[in-house]
Structure 1
């Protein structure tokens, strides 16, 4: 196996194996196959697929993976050294690794004398033989073997010579990589660097790897320290997934190594790094996790600017408040609008939405937009997740938004008829559209869902494109706590159609009224984006439900 040069690194991803041990994360076989292809496309060198023989899902994954071809990455199976008393050919773990048919194997062995004597209950010399013989057998059978020295840094701190002898035993067996593991995740960068220096002095010809956990919050820092001291094989997971506090996060490690320290992988350089954010979000989607907004490099907030002074500077030169260009990792710059916004934020947002040309030279209109946004924020509105509502505010201020419909009234009823049954919700809506009235009712699994159904049912005869629109997400936040249950609430709604998603906001002391505001903005935005400039007329009142007793005044 070709060794990396001083300027190159090898990237080993264990999202499918170690990452799958995260609490509340469970990848299906199809998920793992999908992620393996995405990781290969990103340019990683090794993908650790799982432990064949440990569970049926990993067995099924390796069986299915044999029918797939990866462009570059090698798919490795994970296991342990053989059990005491077994021969390599008779050991079920080693036999399972060979039977899985991977491109190679990764096995872990004990490098901490405490674990050898207390955990395994065997002598120190026997452990060395298990390591050496297990590696040699797999090297003969599979050709590529990586050895994970489990608890290496704790073992080195407790018994340095023995920890180094474990590595020597793996090297004697023919291991292609000796991976130093901070398994408990408690190491410090200086300790990691000093231990790596000792290993390089004792085993100068070996390619060393680093595998850090994040229990001390230093997994990324420890990994970078190891590389600075000569390690060239880097292990981690995307988004830092992993047991307990997770593994070293490759979404932070890779940009630092490639963009700041000048390293690159055999197939992973600056161009491939532009796929990092998309790959990160795919992992979260398949893991059924909400992406962490403040995650470095790939988070939604990683290049978001809110303060007016910051935005003013970024518009002149992004380097003033950005340590890299967001595009380098496939992310985007976001300018947030709030009561902390200055003119720069608003101008940037107008430019982003393609509305600035309409206000060119009209400083009074820009000032009016700024004041309107700040006033709404003071009332509890938040536009950071509601770009569609922000655009509608601007268009209303400058008189560039048709009135597609007008509310006459609505009523929402909730009824729980039996203790063991869910409540039933029904909403009735009356609207005017181009001078005509639409009067409809809708049901749903909650009052907002019912109101959404009734609103769009009233409008779809006039605006058929609303059939392709759906309510995707719904969030409620209390924005003033002084009145207890009388407190104002903010409702954020995400809507979508086959082409895009958009966010809208409403605020009121009444959660239904706040929801209605956000729903109306969602529908209005859809019609505006579709280029609607007309007020469709129809003959007579559109009666799609029986009368509700609404005040039609």
Structure 2
């Protein structure tokens, strides 16, 4: 059957990267996109170069209807992708041309339409409450009508793998009804997510051999195999793969778009994205996570902050010789970076690499390197943690390297005191007094806060503000407290991680002590020392 390609269909049609973040991905618990969010997600996906963006179910959901209306009005200009409307076949007791939901698919103005149809006899008979011939007729009539209206149609064969195992004749009959009516692709859906890679590959290969149809794959992640299943299907002959950004989706989620793309491009050398677009993988992943209001998973393959982070000293020794010895690809290929984490597991190579990353050359200073390794191991044993506190680690390394200017004190502490006042009306106020020596002057300042740490921070700022022009630039971005395991109740050792920001950059410092105020004080003073070092360095530069 020969058909004219509808307007909006991508020219490079050998392989389809199909994203359903805005429909299937939005079924994840906790996600609720506004229409503006959906438009922003679509722009990010288009910038990556995916071929098809499924925008939602117009006619069934008012928000999705509005999304397609705004997209059609010119708010969404896609450079790479075709917009797809998702919906169901006609009802059993009507014709496609008269079915309101089918008409809504046309009204969406989307050039491509994906229809979902049950392909498992049990679902046809129990959920649709009809018979197989009627279900096949519903598919054929709807596809034929939409193709006749100039739309390109894909058919999602829901519950295909379970249905094919139970009754292969019915599953194939549904596919055949769609293709004979004009569907370009029939997508085999592992709707319950229960398949494993070898089984997926066998079924895809077998169905492709029996039918000759163009096959797609849609995998859920209930066995934690959605990415592997998708890749197995592609290797078995599927040329259309459906995914969601960051694996968002119902239950355990869907096949992760970025994991699938990383494997297709970096491992199988398949040119499924525009040239250079694979370098946008990390940026797009994190951008969509922001719009979904979900913290990015640092351990996501390819795009996670920890995807190329190395902790063991043995790894660092090899990486020092050749980074690819312990990285499966160059992280820059997908827009990510390699990091070396420094913990009690670190050896000389780890610290040397980390120092290089932070701008401290320890290779030419073996005594400083030895002292730094010993100090890190000793401190980590006492509860300090440097893998997330680069600013404190940099100060430690510079101090051991003899760069006294790096931690020449912003001030010297004489003493501080904190008083907590529980008033008769039940209010609790903390008051802190700090006594410092700054620039040859003795400075005393007092401030109140809603807690002891807040009060100490406020008093410290009051004391330093007249002496440091940049003091008001530094803001507390985040404050994390952890009671270390193995300690005793309220006597326990406390670790504080402090994120500071000055509008241009963020940095993290750490403090550890039995007293939470002192632990916080150590992190606070490291934060200011690090800022002071940066200011001095920039001034000299």
Question: TM-score, with normalisation over the residues of structure 1?
Answer: 0.90
Alpha-carbon distance in 1 for matches of 2:453, 2:91: 60
Deviation at 1:45, TM superposition (A): 0.3
Alpha-carbon distance in 2 for matches of 1:4, 1:187: 33
SS in 2 for 1:211: strand
Structure 2 partner of 1:180: 188
Relative to structure 1, the CA distance from residue 38 to residue 360 in structure 2 (aligned partners, 3 Å threshold; closer, same or farther) is same
Report Cα offsets for 1:465-486 as digits up to 9, x if no partner. Answer: 1212221111112224231221
SS in 1 for 2:470: helix
Relative to structure 1, the CA distance from residue 345 to residue 119 in structure 2 (aligned partners, 3 Å threshold; closer, same or farther) is same
SS in 1 for 2:218: strand
Report Cα offsets for 1:348-394 as digits up to 9, x if no partner. Answer: 111111120xx563321221122122221111111111000001112
Deviation at 1:63, TM superposition (A): 2.2
> Which of 269, 272, 295 lines up with 1:290 in the alignment?
295
Deviation at 1:31, TM superposition (A): 1.8
Alpha-carbon distance in 2 for matches of 1:30, 1:445: 38
Structure 2 partner of 1:246: 253
Contact 1:12 1:234 (C-alpha < 8 Å) held by counterparts: yes
Structure 2 partner of 1:90: 98
Alpha-carbon distance in 2 for matches of 1:301, 1:491: 21
> Which of 77, 81, 95 lines up with 1:73 in the alignment?
81
**Structure 1 residue 368 and structure 2 residue 371: aligned?**
yes
Report Cα offsets for 1:307-365 as digits up to 9, x if no partner. Answer: 11210111101222111111111111101111111111111111111120xx5633212
Structure 1 partner of 2:27: 21
Deviation at 1:9, TM superposition (A): 2.5
Structure 2 partner of 1:264: 271
Alpha-carbon distance in 2 for matches of 1:170, 1:423: 70
Could you tell me which runs of 5 or more consecutive residues in structure 2 were left unpaired when the two chains were aligned. Answer: none
Describe how 1:391-410 pairs up with structure 2 within 5 A. Answer: 391-397=394-400, 398=402, 399-400=404-405, 401-410=407-416
Deviation at 1:458, TM superposition (A): 2.4
Structure 1 partner of 2:65: 59
Alpha-carbon distance in 2 for matches of 1:392, 1:86: 74
> Which of 44, 50, 54 lines up with 2:50 in the alignment?
44
Structure 1 partner of 2:475: 470
**Structure 1 residue 199 and structure 2 residue 207: aligned?**
yes
Deviation at 1:434, TM superposition (A): 1.4
Structure 1 partner of 2:236: 229
Structure 1 partner of 2:315: 310
SS in 2 for 1:294: coil
Deviation at 1:407, TM superposition (A): 2.3
Could you tell me which runs of 5 or more consecutive residues in structure 1 were left unpaired when the two chains were aligned. Answer: 535-553
Deviation at 1:444, TM superposition (A): 4.5
**Structure 1 residue 276 and structure 2 residue 281: aligned?**
yes
Contact 1:480 1:489 (C-alpha < 8 Å) held by counterparts: no
> Which of 352, 359, 364 lines up with 2:357 in the alignment?
352
Kindly tell me the number of residue pairs found equivalent between the two proteins: 527
SS in 1 for 2:187: strand
Alpha-carbon distance in 2 for matches of 1:261, 1:186: 25
Relative to structure 1, the CA distance from residue 114 to residue 354 in structure 2 (aligned partners, 3 Å threshold; closer, same or farther) is same
> Which of 156, 159, 183 lines up with 1:151 in the alignment?
159
Tell which deviates more after alignment, 329-338 or 441-450: 441-450
Report Cα offsets for 1:21-73 as digits up to 9, x if no partner. Answer: 11112222222211111111111000111112333322222222222211110
Structure 2 partner of 1:434: 439
Describe how 1:122-137 pairs up with structure 2 within 5 A. Answer: 122-137=130-145
Alpha-carbon distance in 1 for matches of 2:538, 2:225: 56
Report Cα offsets for 1:153-209 as digits up to 9, x if no partner. Answer: 0110110010000001111221121111000000122221222123212321x3211
**Structure 1 residue 523 and structure 2 residue 531: aligned?**
no
Alpha-carbon distance in 1 for matches of 2:53, 2:214: 18
Tell which deviates more after alignment, 114-123 or 443-452: 443-452
**Structure 1 residue 139 and structure 2 residue 144: aligned?**
no
Structure 1 partner of 2:262: 255
Deviation at 1:138, TM superposition (A): 2.0
SS in 2 for 1:275: helix
Alpha-carbon distance in 2 for matches of 1:452, 1:146: 60
Structure 1 partner of 2:222: 215
Alpha-carbon distance in 1 for matches of 2:421, 2:208: 73
Relative to structure 1, the CA distance from residue 338 to residue 140 in structure 2 (aligned partners, 3 Å threshold; closer, same or farther) is same
SS in 1 for 2:170: helix
Relative to structure 1, the CA distance from residue 28 to residue 224 in structure 2 (aligned partners, 3 Å threshold; closer, same or farther) is same
Contact 1:104 1:142 (C-alpha < 8 Å) held by counterparts: no
Relative to structure 1, the CA distance from residue 481 to residue 247 in structure 2 (aligned partners, 3 Å threshold; closer, same or farther) is same
Deviation at 1:532, TM superposition (A): 6.8
Question: TM-score, with normalisation over the residues of structure 2?
Answer: 0.92
SS in 2 for 1:89: helix
Alpha-carbon distance in 2 for matches of 1:3, 1:525: 51
Contact 1:9 1:263 (C-alpha < 8 Å) held by counterparts: no
Deviation at 1:103, TM superposition (A): 2.6
Contact 2:112 2:153 (C-alpha < 8 Å) held by counterparts: yes
Relative to structure 1, the CA distance from residue 235 to residue 374 in structure 2 (aligned partners, 3 Å threshold; closer, same or farther) is same
